[in-house]
Each structure stands twice: as C-alpha cells, then as structure tokens.
Amino acid sequence: MKTFILIHGSWHCAWNWHKVVPLLERAGHTAIAIDLPGMGRDKTPISEVRMKTTVEKICSLIDSIEGKVILVGHSKNGIMISQAAEYRPHKIEKLVYLAAYLIQNGKTQQEYSVQDTGGVLKPYVTRYPELNAHTLQPVIYKEGLYHDCDDDITEMAKLLLSHEPVESGITPLDLTEENFGSVPRYYIECTDDRAVTPFIQQKMYTETPCAKVYRMDTSHSPFFSKPKELVEILCDIAAWGV
C-alpha cells in the first residue's frame, strides 16, 4: 500500500481533502493532507510566505516518511510538487497533477495563468500589495470553484478560505530532467473546470507529457463533488508499475 501526500491549491487548506483521506485509508493506503505555510491552521504570516520555505515544508514531511510517497498537487500548487520532485526525486514514486499547474523549467505559474482567458475567477481577485497576497471574493466561490458541489461546501469555504501569497506564482521553477524528469507524472483533467480551464490544462500536459491523463467531468473541486471517483483514479495510479 502507498503513502499519499495531498497538497491543496490557492486560498485553500487541508480541508480540501476531508472526503478523500478516509476513502484512501479505507482502500488500505496512508493519506496525509497538510496546510501549506500561511494557510489553514498554519500561522505563518502571509507576508512572510515564500515558495522556497513552502517547498521545504513539503520536503521535510517527505523526509519523515519511510519509503517513497505519491505526491498529489491541486491547482496552483502543482508548482510545489514539481519543485519538491526536483529536490527529492528518489523519495517520490509518482506525481499527480489534479487540474494543476504543470510548468516547465524556467517558467512561472503566472505565465500560464494569464493565458487562461476563459476562467471566471480573475475579475474577483482582491489584491493586497502590502501583504504581497490576494484573496478571492466569496461571490464567485460557487460558480468558479464548486458549481457541482453541495451548497454546504460553499458555506464552509466562506469560513476557511484565506489569503494566497503572490511570490510563488511569479517564481520560475528550477527543474532538471535528471531529477524532476525522472519521476513519473500523471494528470487528472477536470473537463468542466471554470477556474483552471481545460484549455490550459491540456496545453500544460501536452507540453510536459505524462504517463497517463485521466479525465473527470467535474468542476475544479472533484474532491468535494466526486470524491469516490477521484479516489478510484488515485488508487489506479498507485497500482501502476506494481
């Protein structure tokens, strides 16, 4: 059985995975969902959050686990699992990008985000230059993130979503074929995604090919709308190469 580390996306926290973790555990796996620095219960001041220290937190967790892990990244924080793979290629069995930014060496998440003109979120982002951060206005939560999810998810999001640091989105990734390129990659495309649209998802996994691409007919948040189907895919990925 495998150990999954689950990395949430922008504005979110470990709460993203509260339906997924017990299903993975029921399937015999270990699942660990963490709050990235400045998010959820992590009290790092948002103005102090940097990509380097965020990746270091992920790597420290990886180092604390015996054996290899499967690293799952959602949305923006696909960049985090890519950079972690560069630093810990021998500790990561597989990378899973869930509607996530799969960025090439020397590129930034922002470079791809600006190309995604079909997404609905950008007009609803409120920027705080003094914090080097931004938030997403709650009025767009349902349409942009959770349109196929139960209403209680949107209500919980109003309580839990927080500031997102800007710095990581404009930091070029530092990746090599020797390290990052040696870790098998899998992509889960969300075909009804209004936040990271299918257009940009397809562009990314075409430029950086993956061992397999799965597709889910969901919004940006399949961990809420179709957690059982998502876990079935994660278990299939876990079985590859076994």
Threshold 0.85, pTM exceeds = yes
pLDDT at 104: 97
| Confidence at 42, pLDDT banded by 50, 70, 90 | very high
Cα–Cα distances (Å) from 169 to 31, 57, 108, 142, 231, in that order, read 26, 17, 6, 24, 28
CATH number assigned to the domain comprising residue 213: 3.40.50.1820
Of 175, 195, 33, 3, residue with least CA distance to 99: 195
Beta strand 185-190 with 92-98 is parallel
| Confidence at 241, pLDDT banded by 50, 70, 90 | low
Q: For the chain, what is the domain count?
A: 1
Distance CA 4, CA 68 (A): 9
Distance CA 200, CA 105 (A): 17
Of 100, 97, 101, 93, residue with least CA distance to 30: 93
Q: Which helix (H) or strand (E) holds 190?
A: strand 185-190
Distance CA 102, CA 187 (A): 9
Instruction: Report the percent of the chain where pLDDT is more than 70.
Output: 99
Residue 85, φ and ψ in degrees, nearest 5: -65, -30
Range of the domain at 235: 3-239
Question: Above 80 in pLDDT, residue 242?
Answer: no
Handedness of CA 132, 10, 152, 6 (dihedral sign): negative
pLDDT at 240: 84
Cα–Cα distances (Å) from 104 to 86, 143, 162, 207, in that order, read 12, 30, 28, 8
Q: Mean pLDDT of all residues in the chain?
A: 97
Mean pLDDT over 34-61 rounds to 97
Mean pLDDT over 92-115 rounds to 98
Q: The tokens 């799952």 sit on which residue?
A: 72
